[in-house]
Structure 1
């Protein structure tokens, strides 16, 4: 085994990062130390993914990304470690992309930083093609008294398209007959505003940008 990885994990890592096969062993040890420094132990099931994420950057850039994550999402050292251990790919996301998701999830949706840290997969979803349209659907349903209880936004964002519609659109076809069509249009990025219907069938344009 190399660095605590089994043969299968080593093979998968080298397929994604073939230059590791000919690189300096000291460099590999440096990458391993960097991955461990992020709070992910070698025996963790996610260690290979973390190691893969750090191979594309140097120690200084990784440290800068970690500080950016802490500042942008208001995370503690422990919380940023949890997020990275669950979804190592956050280290490879652009700062603009992460900033946009922070503004949406924290400032607009109102999620707590710790909630996001334990569910970092949300940071990988499309903002305009998935999360924002779904948030508007749930917001509309809540404001019109069509939901019996507040849903988990992680559930709202992570469900497949089919499951999301079954849970939040299909049950309200009579109360909001145009909701599904408006949602589909918004997911395609074709709406500047969010056209929804109130329960009494009156058209209302609720601008959301």
Structure 2
């Protein structure tokens, strides 16, 4: 009995010591770790008033002064016409930028520039750096330059909404982009000019020159044909070298189209080779080879129409004499070339 009481007393004392040690020693163990966390946050330009705040260091949050910064920015943003939900959306899109007091003046400028809060939030989603960029340089100089290019306020806002980073582009680089667009014969202020600016990365000097040279060599175009093709379809500059080579092989080498023909109809380069051009080419070749279609029928007119129009115009009229054509075309669209589509 005495031995049992001794063991019980032993455990009671041990538990008491552990409880006292943890409660008294925990602050001494936690405080240095919180201090280290505060120091790391200070390196990120976040001032922490209370060490206990660092306990949430691993969670998503806004490390900012609530009274003098967040509250002020909140009510200033409310005065600009942003709703609570839009302010919450803005905070989620650019949590690091919202701490800055200058965000209010920038918000006021961009709301006026883009014309609506919805467009403003869409631009911030695509380029959060807008809220921290200096309005005086480069934003306003770039806007002034675009106005000098003949673009109206609505055209500039719509172009920059599609590519907000254009506002932050170095002014000299923007001028070089415009010069490259003009070298293609594109008039300032035209719809094609705006389209080229949206693909602005394509117009940087080194990238632009290399891609133009690659296009010219791949499709065996003359300088005039190259300018014609890019002017009509500037997005062709986005195509990879491998994709362009496959397009040239199919359109020029296999189908037999002349390079000049492709240059005048560069939208063909946007179509899927395996899902559209090749299956339709096999259908047309089959029909012409069996005397079911005028041999002079233009390929491009068949490539550009919608799927429904193509089927109604080139397949359905021949159901009786070529009942297999529907299945063969469907198989070709899946990447399989049926026997009936093979020619010696």
TM class by shorter chain equals 0.7 to 0.9
**What is aligned with 1:206?**
342
**What is aligned with 2:241?**
95
CA shift, 1:207, in A, is 7.5
Q: Higher helix fraction: Structure 1 or Structure 2? A: 2
SS in 2 for 1:145: coil
Q: Which has the higher contact order (CA 8 A, sep 6+)?
A: 1
Q: Distance in 1 between matches of 2:333 and 2:319?
A: 18
CA shift, 1:185, in A, is 2.1
CA spacing shift, 1:195–1:9, aligned 2, 3 Å: farther
CA spacing shift, 1:57–1:35, aligned 2, 3 Å: closer
CA shift, 1:148, in A, is 3.1
SS in 1 for 2:269: helix
Moved over 3 A (4+): none
Q: Which has the larger radius of gyration?
A: 2
SS in 1 for 2:191: coil
SS in 1 for 2:339: strand
How many equivalent pairs are there? 198
Q: Superposition pairs for residues 1-209 of structure 1, below 5 Å?
A: 1-56=147-202, 58-189=204-335, 191=336, 193-196=337-340, 206=342
TM-score (norm 1): 0.88
CA shift, 1:76, in A, is 1.0
CA spacing shift, 1:109–1:82, aligned 2, 3 Å: same
Q: Distance in 1 between matches of 2:263 and 2:231?
A: 10
Q: Distance in 1 between matches of 2:233 and 2:172?
A: 26
Does the 8 Å contact 1:49/1:88 carry over to 2? yes
**What is aligned with 1:200?**
none
Q: Distance in 2 between matches of 1:8 and 1:188?
A: 44
**What is aligned with 2:97?**
none
Please tell me the root mean square deviation across aligned C-alpha atoms, in Å: 1.8
TM-score (norm 2): 0.55
Q: Distance in 1 between matches of 2:202 and 2:178?
A: 13
CA shift, 1:119, in A, is 0.4
CA shift, 1:132, in A, is 0.1
Q: Unaligned 5+ residue runs, structure 2?
A: 1-146
CA shift, 1:40, in A, is 1.6
List per-residue Cα deviations over 1:82-108 (Å, max 9, x = no partner).
111111100111011111011111111
Does the 8 Å contact 2:331/2:338 carry over to 1? no
